[in-house]
Structure 1
Amino acid sequence: MASQQEKETKPLRDYAVPQVQNLHSSIRRPLIQANNFEIKPSIIQMIQTAVQFGGLPNDDPNAHIINFLEICDTFKANGVTDDAIRLRLFPFSLRNKAMSWLNSLPAGSINTWDDLAQKFLAKFFPLAKSAKMLNDITSFMQFDSESLYEAWEKYKDLMRRCPHHGLPKWLQVQTFYNSLLRPFRTTIDAVAKGVLMSKSINEAYDLLEEIASNNYQWPYERLGIRKVTRIHELDVINTVSTQLASIAKKIDKLSVNVIRNSFMTCEFCGEGHSNDNYPIYSESCQFVGNTQQNNPYSNTYNPSWRNHPNFSWNNNQESSSMAKSNFPPRFPSRAPMLEKKAFNGRYVHAIHDKD
C-alpha cells in the first residue's frame, strides 16, 4: 500500500529522470573473499596508458587481449581468482566505440573472462575481416623493393594477426617460398644445397628464419638508397604539380584576356579599337564613296548616268568613240584596287550604307 501511494503522489517530472537502480553493468563480477584485496592505481594507470582499444578497423583485438593479460599476470592475490581481476580491469582498457559496445550489452550478461573475451573477439574480429586476412596470407607476394627479411616479417605478422587462419605449417612455408622473387628463391635454394622443397617442414622453416635474420644483420645497400629516392621523387612530384597548377592559372587568365580583347583589336595596327576607327580606312571609305557617286561604270543607279558618253549627243561622239577605241579599256587606279581588296567586306557595307 505504501509503494502504491508513493506512485500516486510521485510528480510527473520524476518519471522522466533516470533512476540509479536501473543502471547496471554488463559484467557480473564475482565476489572476493579476501578482505585485504586492492588494485593499485599504478596498475590502472598502466592499462589506461599502454593498453587501449578503441574499436577502429585497424585495431588488432587479438594483440589487445594478449597485452592486457600480460599486465594482469604481473600481480596475484591470495583468495582472488584470475577472472575476478580480469573482469574488473578490462573496462579500463576500452575507449570510444569499444567502451560503448561493452555498455550496450545486457546487464549482468557476462559472468566469466572466457565469455567476455569471446564476445569481444566476435564483435571486433567479424567473419569478413577473417576472410580478408586469410586471403592476404594465401595471396601474399613480395614487393620489388622489399628485402627477404622485410617480406618474411610481414608474412609472419599476417599470421599473428589472424591466429585462427587454420593453415598447416607446410602450406605456410610453400606459400611464402612461391611468393618470393626469382633471385631470392635462387639464393635460398643455394643455401639449402639443392631445393628448399626437398627439406622437411621444420628444416625449411628454420632455414627461412636463419636466412632472413642474416639478411637483416647485413642489409644490402639498395635499402638506404631506395628510401632517399622515394623522398626525392616525392619532392619532385610536389614541385611539378605546383608548377603545373601555376601554369594552368596563367593560361586561364590569358584565355580570358584574349576573349575580352578579341572584339577590340584592330586588324591593321593591332591597337585596342575597331577597324572603323582606323584613320586610313576611314579616309579610303570616304574616297571610294565619292568616286562612286560619279562613277559612270557603276552597276547601280546614280546621277552620273547623265554624263555617260553613250547617253550624250554631240557631233564629236563618233570621232571621240574612234579615238578612245585606240586605247585599252579604262581600269581603276591602283590605290582604289588596293583599298577595295583590303576592305572588301567593309567596302560593300559602306556602299549599302551610303545608298
Structure 2
Amino acid sequence: MKEEASSDFAYRSEQSTNKEKKEIAHNTPTYMGDFARPIIEATNSAIVLPTAVHNYILKPNDANLLPLYHGMPNEDALNFVRDFCTQVQTFLLLNITEDQLKLKCFQYALKDRARSWSLSLPPNSITTWNEACEKFMLKYYPNHKTQELRAQIMEFTQGADEPFHEAWDRFQELLRQCPQHQLAPTMVNRFFYDGLGQTSQFIVDNTSGGNIARKTVEELNQIFQTLVESSQQKLVRGKRVEASAVSQNGDLQKQLSSIMREVQQLKMSKMEPPPIPMQSVQPCAICGDLSHGVDQCNRMGEYTPEGQAEVHSAQGFQSRPQYGQSYNQGKQNFNGGWRGQQPYAPQQNFSQ
C-alpha cells in the first residue's frame, strides 16, 4: 500500500510540474524577432557508442593520421575503407575492441558531404561497425560500379606498347577494386590470357610448355609472376642502356646537326644563280640612242670613213696598220666622190 501511495504521489508531482511549465511557457510573451532566431536542438548521432568507448580518448596525433572521405564522385570508397581499417589497427586499444574503436573513429573521418550524409541517418540506427560499413558502401559504392568493374575484368586488353608487368598490375588493380566480382579463378586467369597481345601469349605458351590448358590455377599464376619479374627487369635494363647511350652520343648528335646545317647551306648556295656582272651601258656612237648598239643602228650607211674610225675608236677597236695605209693611199680618190657633201661628224664621243 505504501509503494502504491508513493508511486501515485510521484506521478501527481510530475503532472503538476509539467502543467506549471506549460503555464509558464504560455504566459511568456512572444516577440517578432523570435521567429527569425534559429532553434538549436541537440543532434542525436546515428552511431551508438558504449560507455567504455565514450571514455576512450583519441589522441590528436592519431586523429590526424586518419584518412578523410568527403563524399566526392571522384573518391574511391572501397580504398578509403581499406586505408581506414589499416590505420585504426595501429592505434592502442584500452578496454575496447577494434570494431568499437573503428566505430568511434569513423565519425572523425567523414567530412563535407559525407558528414552531412551521416547526420541525415536516423538517430541511434548504427550499433556495430559492420552496420556502419554496410550503410556507407551502399551509399558510395552503388551496384552499377560493380557491373562496370566486372565488365572491365572480362574485357581486359593489353595495350599496344604496354609491357607485360604493367598489364598484370593493371589487371590486378581491377580485381582489387571489385573483390565481389564472383568470378572463378580459372575464368580470371583466362580473361587475362585472352586479353594479352600475340607476343605476350606466345611467351606464356613457351613458358608453360606449349599448352596452358594442362596447368592448374596455381601453376599458371606462378608462370605469370615469373614473366612479370622478367619483364620488369628487362625494362629497367633497357632504360639504363638508353640513358647511357644518350649520354655517350650527345656530342655525336651535335656534330651531326652541324654537318646537316652546312649541307643545307651548300644546297641553297647552289640553287641561287651566280650574280651577273654589271656592264657599263654605252649609247650608239652614231645616233646616241641608248636602246641599241652601233651594229643595230639604221644610220649605219650614212657616215663617212672618218666617222667609222671614230665609231671604232668609241667601241675600243684599234686600227690595223694596213688599214691606215690603204686608207691614206685612196684618200684623194675617196674624198672626191663626196664633194659637195658635208662630212659626217659624230654627235658626241662617249669613249671619254
Is the pair's TM-score, using the shorter chain for normalization, greater than 0.5? Answer: yes
**Residue from 217, 233, 245 that aligns with 1:217:** 233
Q: Deviations over 1:61-92 (max 9, x none)?
A: 12111111111111233321223311221122
Give the 3 Å change call, closer, same or farther, for CA 132–223 of structure 1 in structure 2.
farther
Secondary structure class of the residue paired with 2:52: coil
Greater mean deviation of Cα atoms: 195-204 or 26-35: 26-35
Q: Which residue of 2 aligns with 1:44?
A: 63
Give the 3 Å change call, closer, same or farther, for CA 33–113 of structure 1 in structure 2.
closer
Q: Which residue of 1 aligns with 2:163?
A: 147
Give the 3 Å change call, closer, same or farther, for CA 182–213 of structure 1 in structure 2.
same
Letter in 1 for 2:189: V
**Residue from 49, 64, 86 that aligns with 1:29:** 49
Tell me the TM-score normalized by structure 1.
0.58
Tell me the TM-score normalized by structure 2.
0.58
State the alpha-carbon separation in 2 of the partners of residues 25 and 124 from structure 1.
Answer: 20
Q: Which residue of 1 aligns with 2:196?
A: 180
State the alpha-carbon separation in 2 of the partners of residues 19 and 194 from structure 1.
Answer: 77
Letter in 2 for 1:4: K
The answer to whether 1:115 aligns with 2:134 is no
- Give the deviation of 1:93 after TM superposition: 1.5
**Residue from 15, 20, 29 that aligns with 1:2:** 20
Contact 1:197-1:204 within 8 A present in 2 as well: no
> Which consecutive residues of structure 1, in runs of 5 or more, have no partner in the other structure?
226-355
Q: Which residue of 1 aligns with 2:106?
A: 90
Contact 1:34-1:78 within 8 A present in 2 as well: no
**Residue from 25, 48, 53 that aligns with 2:69:** 53
Greater mean deviation of Cα atoms: 216-225 or 113-122: 216-225
Letter in 2 for 1:72: V
Secondary structure class of the residue paired with 1:63: helix
The answer to whether 1:197 aligns with 2:216 is no
Letter in 2 for 1:42: N
> Once the two structures are aligned, what percentage of the paired residues are identical?
26
- Give the deviation of 1:33 after TM superposition: 7.4
State the alpha-carbon separation in 2 of the partners of residues 190 and 31 from structure 1.
Answer: 64
Contact 1:26-1:110 within 8 A present in 2 as well: yes
**Residue from 141, 144, 167 that aligns with 2:183:** 167
Contact 2:53-2:104 within 8 A present in 1 as well: no
Decide which structure has the larger Cα Rg and report it: 2
Letter in 1 for 2:155: S
Letter in 1 for 2:57: E
Q: Which residue of 2 aligns with 1:62?
A: 78
State the alpha-carbon separation in 2 of the partners of residues 223 and 126 from structure 1.
Answer: 45
State the alpha-carbon separation in 1 of the partners of residues 199 and 24 from structure 2.
Answer: 85
Give the 3 Å change call, closer, same or farther, for CA 20–82 of structure 1 in structure 2.
farther
State the alpha-carbon separation in 2 of the partners of residues 223 and 101 from structure 1.
Answer: 51
Greater mean deviation of Cα atoms: 6-15 or 210-219: 6-15
State the alpha-carbon separation in 2 of the partners of residues 212 and 140 from structure 1.
Answer: 17
State the alpha-carbon separation in 2 of the partners of residues 223 and 94 from structure 1.
Answer: 45
State the alpha-carbon separation in 1 of the partners of residues 241 and 164 from structure 2.
Answer: 15
State the alpha-carbon separation in 1 of the partners of residues 170 and 121 from structure 2.
Answer: 36
State the alpha-carbon separation in 1 of the partners of residues 37 and 94 from structure 2.
Answer: 42
State the alpha-carbon separation in 1 of the partners of residues 90 and 78 from structure 2.
Answer: 19
> Which consecutive residues of structure 2, in runs of 5 or more, have no partner in the other structure?
1-18, 243-352
Give the 3 Å change call, closer, same or farther, for CA 195–224 of structure 1 in structure 2.
farther
Contact 2:156-2:171 within 8 A present in 1 as well: yes
- Give the deviation of 1:224 after TM superposition: 11
Secondary structure class of the residue paired with 1:219: helix
Give the 3 Å change call, closer, same or farther, for CA 100–129 of structure 1 in structure 2.
same
Please tell me the root mean square deviation across aligned C-alpha atoms, in Å. Answer: 2.4
